[in-house]
Structure 1
Amino acid sequence: MNVTSVSFPYGESIHWFSPEKIKSLPENQLKDWLLATGSLTQRLKTHCTHFEVKVLGEHLLTPLEDEFPSHNDPVWIREVLLCLDGTPWVFARTLIPQHILDASHNQFIHLGTRPLGELLFTSPAITPGNIEVAQFETCGRLAALATSLQQQVNTSLWGRRRYFNLHGSQLIVSEIFLPAAVEYINTL
């Protein structure tokens, strides 16, 4: 895998939609994965022997335009690959405002290779919000990332975004399914 932190951040400006307002949602197994309300980490772990988080980069940065509409200050951005048996399945991008980092005693910035999902779905202080979805063209930065991972991008990629509430503030987690994941999911 030739992905390095030199390329961080990979995120791109994306238009997210409520699932009820997008007509082109996939009509296969992927739709169920996009709209699932539980922990994606837990679900992924049931489809492999070895689950791994590869950190692409994490740093305090200014979010992309329209990425965090109510927030213009720098946020902690963490980008990772969620890998199943050595194969990257999901690109995940997390945005956490500084005041959440300060109040959380660094539990977010010291995750290392631990999955964020374990923290998000085990803490009673964190409440998951609604899911939004997006379709990514084959010529975008995330398609280029998939190609660099030796995954051929023949069709649009799909992803989901979810806000998580913590003490009246929000953090955002986006998860984009890479071609290897889509190929496997559609055989289920």
Structure 2
Amino acid sequence: MNVTSVSFPYGESIHWFSPEKIQSLPDNQLKDWLLATGSLTQRLKTHCTHFEVKVLGEHLLTPLEDEFPSHNEPVWIREVLLCLDGTPWVFARTLIPQNILHTQSNHFTRLGTRPLGELLFSSPNITPGSIEVAKFETCGRLAALATSLNQQVNSSLWGRRRYFNLHCSQLIVSEIFLPAAVERINHL
């Protein structure tokens, strides 16, 4: 794998859409994964023997244009790969505003290789919001990331974004399915 922290951040500016407003969603198993309301971490763990979080980078940074419209100050950005039995399946990018960064019961900056999903779906103070979806073109930064992971990008990548409410504020989690995941998901 050629993935290094030197390349962080990998995120790219993209328009997200409500699933009802996007012209076409994948018409295969991936659609179910994109729209599933439960924990993606839990679902991924049921499809492997060894689940691993590889941290690509995390730091206080200014979000991309239109990525977090209500914030014009730096936010904690964390980018990881969710790997199943050694194969990266999902690229995840989280944005956490500073006002909730160090809440007493949620230590977002000290997750290390622990999955964020476990924290988000186990805390009674965090409420998941609606899901938005996006299609990533084969010439973008995330396609280049997939290629650097030795995953051939033959078609657009799909991802989902979700807001999580905590203490009258929101954090954002984006999850993009890499080609290896799409291939396996469509054969489940």
Short-chain TM bin? over 0.9
The equivalent of 1:77 in structure 2 is 77
Q: Which amino acid aligns with 1:75?
A: V
Q: Where do 5+ consecutive residues of structure 1 fail to align?
A: none
Equivalent position SS for 1:103: coil
Structure 1 residue 133 corresponds to structure 2 residue 117: no
The equivalent of 1:160 in structure 2 is 160
1:178 Cα deviation after fit: 0.0
Structure 1 residue 114 corresponds to structure 2 residue 114: yes
* Deviation by residue 1:65-119 (Cα, 9 ceiling, x = unmatched): 0000100100000000000000000000000001101334661000000000000
Q: Where do 5+ consecutive residues of structure 2 fail to align?
A: none
The equivalent of 2:38 in structure 1 is 38
Equivalent position SS for 1:32: helix
Distance 1:99 1:181 in 2: 34
Q: For the structure 1 residues 72 and 102, does the alpha-carbon distance in structure 2 shift closer, same or farther, using more than 3 Å as the test?
A: same
Q: For the structure 1 residues 104 and 76, does the alpha-carbon distance in structure 2 shift closer, same or farther, using more than 3 Å as the test?
A: farther
The equivalent of 1:177 in structure 2 is 177
**TM-score between the two structures when normalised by the length of structure 2:** 0.99
**TM-score between the two structures when normalised by the length of structure 1:** 0.99
The equivalent of 1:99 in structure 2 is 99
1:59 Cα deviation after fit: 0.1
The equivalent of 1:18 in structure 2 is 18
Q: Which amino acid aligns with 1:130?
A: S
Q: Which amino acid aligns with 1:146?
A: A
C-alpha RMSD of matched pairs (Å): 0.8
1:127 Cα deviation after fit: 0.2
* Contact persistence 2:102–2:108 (CA under 8 A): no
Identity of aligned residues (%): 89
Moved beyond 6 Å, runs of 4+: none
1:23 Cα deviation after fit: 1.8
1:50 Cα deviation after fit: 0.1
